[in-house]
Chains A and B, each alone.
Chain A
Amino acid sequence: MAVRTRKSTARTSPKRRAERPRPTTGRTRVPSRPSQGSASSPSANPSGTGNLWTPEADEIGIRVRMYRVGFGDFFLVTLLDDSGNAHHIIIDCGVFKGTSQTGDIGSIEAAVADMVETTGGHVALVIMTHRHADHIAGFARCVDTFKKLTVGAVWMPIWESEYEPTALRFQVELTRTALALRKHFTALGANVSEEYNTARKYMENATGEFDAAGAAAKGSNAVALDLLKHGFAGITPRYYHAGDKTDLPQELVNAGLSSQVLGPPPVADIDLMKLMDLQKGVGQYLTGDGGENAGHFEPFGAEWVVDPEQPPVKDQTDFYHPETFREWVSGRQRKSWGPVTREDARRARKSLERALQQLQPIAALTAAKTLNAFLNNQSLVVLFTFKSKKLLFVGDAQAGNWEHWVFATDTPDKKASGTIDPPARQILTSLDLYKVGHHGSGNATPKAVAEMMGTSGRPFVALCSTEANVYGTEDPDDPTKGTEVPRGPLLDKLASESALVRSDQIAITVNGKQIQAAVPATLPDPPRGVRLVLGPIWVDAYL
């Protein structure tokens, strides 16, 4: 926080800072008007709920509520129009248990209940950034609750469109492959290693969980997608890619909101989506039937399998001679000094087998990772402008998605070394709120972008919905390890230029059960015109 203060002194004199309304940090602070008010008296006005709060000085009536759901994203954006009526936008609703199985802290149902209460059952816009469980699982789990909502519009990335043949084909292929990979990894359950486990989790994120009764066939993600695409009466989702003109519901337009879609890149710029990698690395990885035989198969009949220990029978010449394993004999007799005994050979054979088995999972895991990155890159990236305040929601966008709008390129630029395109520069340096990409992972929010955001010297709020210790420690060199999410250096960088709030820094209470903060910290000093307020299971940013 000290760092941030230093930055902001350039613009804010100590005197003015003192005059500003200060939020209580670390303790729940009741908003000026409690939200319960709206729940008890559902608004008669279909285009917005009644007054939820009164903006303080310097605020213009935006509230971004980040629910602490564990490892996942669930954001509720509420806008006050000139007459004080509230209009609501949901951006994702998901959680995923992750590799550690601890990502789902069991609060999403309570969060959904709060959302219903706050919105009074009407949401102007629902945005699904991409189809990973940590962004949509809540839609599936609370499908009955969601079905009761009235919704003004649903936005999804272009990749979900059923009218875009390329997208459709690949989405089908992708799901099929993810299911196959998942089955493959599950089939290997007996000798499950950490690596396989990681890979299986990746694929479960892509397909959703299978335990829910109705979801057994396709996974819970399918339930969520079905809800979003067909579950809201009279609403056909809009599928957007970068540059599309958005069709905002009228109530939001009237309230003064405008929006711009920055990602994903158009389907034609498929290179950016790592699609080539996908075809090479994943699509053909497994047996073509995509499932039933995705486990092991026998390339040769049982008659070809031999026991290497078996000494030769009379006249037999094709057997494993101890000499075969000389390379793996430890110690001096490896190099032609002295013969290899049967015992030497047996030990050597064990080392050989161990070495080869350890080399096995890498390719499978790489395939799983590629697929994962591909899905993340489908993320719908939306910039909202409400009365001059800019809010950027990027989903889990990874390199290719960012590159397209930040560097204005249609070819992959892995170095991310290009010069930032002037319009993108303008956006990045004028943000008021940034939803940190991919739960703070190092593979989202490119370095150049994080740096660019800091150059304006204009402090902003960064909301990072994440859960520490869910994904492994970072070792990018070694894909058998998980990816460190959130990534320490990135969050440090963001914290140095913004008021960064992590959802896992607050303790919450769900159904009377206390869930400790994973990374306890007090709320940071917000920039001028912003209040950060703790709720029972959320953090609110008032702008």
Chain B
Amino acid sequence: MPLVSNTTKRRLGSGQMALGFGVHHLRTIATPVLAAATGHDWMFIDTEHGAFSVQETTQLCIAALPTGVTPIVRVCAGAIDEATRALDNGALGIVVPHVDTAAQAKRIADAFHYPPQGHRSWGGPPAVYGYKPPSTAEAQAAINAEILTIVMLESPEAIANADAIAAVAGVDVLFIGTSDLTAELGISGQMGHPKVIAAYQAVGEACAKHGKTLGMGGVYDEENASRYVGMGARFILTGSDHSYIMAGADNRTAFFNGLPAAPGR
């Protein structure tokens, strides 16, 4: 069987926007179908802040593959071993948070790619081939080319090192963790602060120079999100199951409570 296509990588490669559906609460296999039904290109399974087991994570990844929604997993900063297990069981992209230096980015790129590009270990039935892979050499080369390696820049040190991080071969996306970045800058939650705009400018220039994609996380208000998309952000998280449920449910209670006939409110 052919390798499952990474539709998000393809979109980013042609300069298009790729929209992510964050997953925190859901464990049902319907999740990727819901992401597709709502116009998303990728699913962001957050194991940095969500309580997913590796089994739960990879069941969602495997379920996403035939839907065309790209399964992308965020691991904890030190959990590179969990990242390769996710890749072995269906993930087509990994987000590593808190990457501050080019040396860290290089270690991550090495861990996620098979030799000669890196040092990833081969093993287990290859889910991304629908369990029917070609020869190992051919499969390893194809998988190296298909996965997305995404590093998160979310500190002043990382922003200062953006050019060197963008230069690392095997890193595809520089994803700004805007929420943690503002906390580190002492301007927590100020998504439109000049220092944040300057950070997007610096990372955007580094990406443009080295042919990498700029990503935006943590910015959900329309004014600031519009600005950063205007500055080149293409790998974009639209929200998460949590925020979608809260917004939708709030909207419904507001409607009923706002009815003139609503008693007792």
Are A and B interaction partners? no
* Chain B residues with a Cβ under 8 A of chain A: none
* Chain A residues with a Cβ under 8 A of chain B: none
